[in-house]
Amino acid sequence: MADCSWGQATPELKEYHDHEWGKPQHDPQKLFELLCLETYQAGLSWQTVLKKRAAFREDFLQFDPELVAQMTEPDLQKLMQDPRIIRNRLKLTDTVINARAFLTIEQTEGFDHYLWQFVEGQPIINRPIVESEIPAQSPLSQLISKDLKKRGFKFVGPTIIYSYLQGAGLIDDHLVGCSAKSAINN
């Protein structure tokens, strides 16, 4: 058995795969950052997003949701001029909208608690044999997507949310023989 092939394609993907993807994440700011980055991936590759992550962090104030929620139209206009990031007007606007929705959850119940309650606090461990066995979405991602939309989030369809759940470690889809798989229930 081999490592997940997508995670070996480039040095950036290898670093992300080996040290972040599928590892349980509980830090609210990192969960917010990952959600934002997943929205930018839609229609693009994760490699593209990773190459621009440092610039995104700079432009979105280290993804501090309180600061992002306060961004205004002039701030967004400035971001539209930055070639270091993905300049999709809708996604930029939705990042600010999502920061506000995120803060509502964070202030009422904590986003970490909100998210992890869907899996009863424990990652779902899958061990597919080949990458083609990994779905693009699931009933869980459909449920969370629907709930997030109800709470005012944008650009959070079930495919984006499935990828988000993988990245945040709520779903661990490392292949059976992958050396980077989570230490939980190998």
* Cβ atoms 98, 111 nearer than 8 A: no
Ordered by start, the domain boundaries in the chain are 5-172
pLDDT (0 to 100) of residue 102: 98
CA distance 135 to 138: 7
CA distance 33 to 36: 5
* Cβ atoms 63, 36 nearer than 8 A: yes
Please tell me which residue in 40, 46, 114, 116 is annotated as part of the active site.
Answer: 46
pLDDT (0 to 100) of residue 182: 54
pLDDT (0 to 100) of residue 165: 98
Percent of the chain having pLDDT more than 70? 96
CA distance 69 to 61: 11
Sign of CA dihedral 1, 129, 132, 160: negative
Is the pLDDT at 73 greater than 50, yes or no? yes
Is 164 considered catalytic here?
Answer: no
Among 1-10, 27-36, 73-82, whose mean pLDDT is lowest?
Answer: 1-10
pTM: 0.94
CATH number belonging to domain 5-172: 1.10.340.30
Mean pLDDT for 25-53 is: 96
Mean pLDDT for 56-74 is: 98
* Cβ atoms 18, 12 nearer than 8 A: no
Is the pLDDT at 185 greater than 50, yes or no? no
Please tell me which residue in 33, 38, 40, 116 is annotated as part of the active site.
Answer: 38
Please tell me which residue in 16, 21, 116, 164 is annotated as part of the active site.
Answer: 16
Is 16 considered catalytic here?
Answer: yes
Is 162 considered catalytic here?
Answer: no
Residue matched to tokens 């005012």: 152
